C-alpha cells in the first residue's frame, strides 16, 4: 500500500480516538482532541499532495480519501450538534449533500466514469475543517455570533459544492416523468 493510502487509513483510525477524547473528562481533553483532529486533517492535505507528487493516484484513494474526510468532519459536526453549537438541520443538509454526491459518483462509475474531488469539494472540505478547528477551540462559546458565522460557512460551502458537482455532471442524470 502506498504512503497516501496509508495516510488515509491513519485518518480513519484517528476518528474514534478524536471522539473518545471529546467524551472523556480530564483537564485538557478538548485540547488533545483538537490536536488529534489537526493531525487527522493534516493527513488529508499530505496524502493528496503525495499522491499527486508521486503520481500515486489510485481508485482506492479517490474513493477512500473523500470518505475519510466525510467521516472525520461528520464526527466533529455530530459533536457540535450534541453540544448545541450547531442545529441538527444544518448537519442533515451536510449529510444529505454527502449522500447525494456519493450517489452521483455511483451513477458515474456505472457509466464508466470516476468523479474525483473537484475544487468546490476541496474548498468545502477546507472551509469545514477550518470552521471545526475554530469551534473546537471553545472561543465560540464566548462569541456566539462567531459560532453562527462558522456554521453558516459550513452550510453555504456545503450547498455550493453540491450544486457544482451536480451541475458539472448533469449529463449523468436523465430524469423521465
In a domain, 35, yes or no: yes
In a domain, 130, yes or no: yes
CATH code of residue 91: 1.20.120.1760
Query: Does 172 or 2 have the greater pLDDT score?
Result: 172
Taking 90 as the threshold, does the pLDDT of residue 48 lie above it?
no
In a domain, 155, yes or no: yes
Q: Which of 15-24, 64-73, 142-151, 160-169 has the lowest mean pLDDT?
A: 64-73
Q: Average the pLDDT over 131-147 and give the result.
A: 92
In a domain, 70, yes or no: yes
pLDDT band at 177 (very low <50, low <70, confident <90, very high): very low
pLDDT band at 109 (very low <50, low <70, confident <90, very high): confident
In a domain, 38, yes or no: yes
Taking 70 as the threshold, does the pLDDT of residue 176 lie above it?
no
Residue 29 structural domain: 3-172
Query: In sequence order, what DSSP letters do the residues of the chain get, joined into one string?
Result: --HHHHHHHHHHHHHHHHHHHHHS-STTHHHHHHHHHHHHHHHHHHHHHHHHHTT---HHHHHHHHHHHHHHHHHHHHHHHHTTSS-HHHHHHHHHHHHHHHHHHHHHHHTT------HHHHHHHHHHHHHHHHHHTTHHHH-HHHHHHHHHHHHHHHHHHHHHHHHHTGGG-----
**Domains identified in the chain, total number:** 1
In a domain, 48, yes or no: yes
In a domain, 177, yes or no: no
In a domain, 89, yes or no: yes
For the chain, percent of residues with pLDDT exceeding 90: 59
Amino acid at each position: 500500500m502506498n504512503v497516501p493510502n496509508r495516510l488515509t487509513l491513519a485518518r480513519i483510525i484517528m476518528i474514534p480516538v478524536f471522539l473518545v477524547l471529546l467524551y472523556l473528562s480530564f483537564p485538557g481533553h478538548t485540547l488533545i482532541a483538537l490536536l488529534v483532529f489537526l493531525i487527522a486533517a493534516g493527513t488529508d492535505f499530505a496524502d493528496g499532495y503525495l499522491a499527486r507528487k508521486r503520481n500515486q493516484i489510485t481508485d482506492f484513494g479517490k474513493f477512500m480519501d473523500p470518505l475519510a474526510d466525510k467521516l472525520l468532519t461528520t464526527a466533529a459536526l455530530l459533536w457540535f450538534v450534541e453540544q448545541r453549537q450547531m442545529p441538527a438541520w444544518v448537519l442533515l443538509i451536510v449529510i444529505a449533500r454527502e449522500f447525494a454526491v456519493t450517489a452521483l459518483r455511483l451513477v458515474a462509475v456505472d457509466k464508466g466514469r470516476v468523479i474525483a474531488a473537484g475544487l468546490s469539494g476541496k474548498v468545502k472540505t477546507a472551509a469545514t475543517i477550518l470552521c471545526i478547528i475554530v469551534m473546537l477551540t471553545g472561543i465560540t462559546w464566548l462569541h456566539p455570533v462567531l459560532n453562527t458565522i462558522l456554521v453558516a460557512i459550513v452550510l453555504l460551502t456545503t450547498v455550493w459544492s453540491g450544486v457544482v458537482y451536480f451541475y458539472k455532471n448533469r449529463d449523468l442524470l436523465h430524469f423521465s416523468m
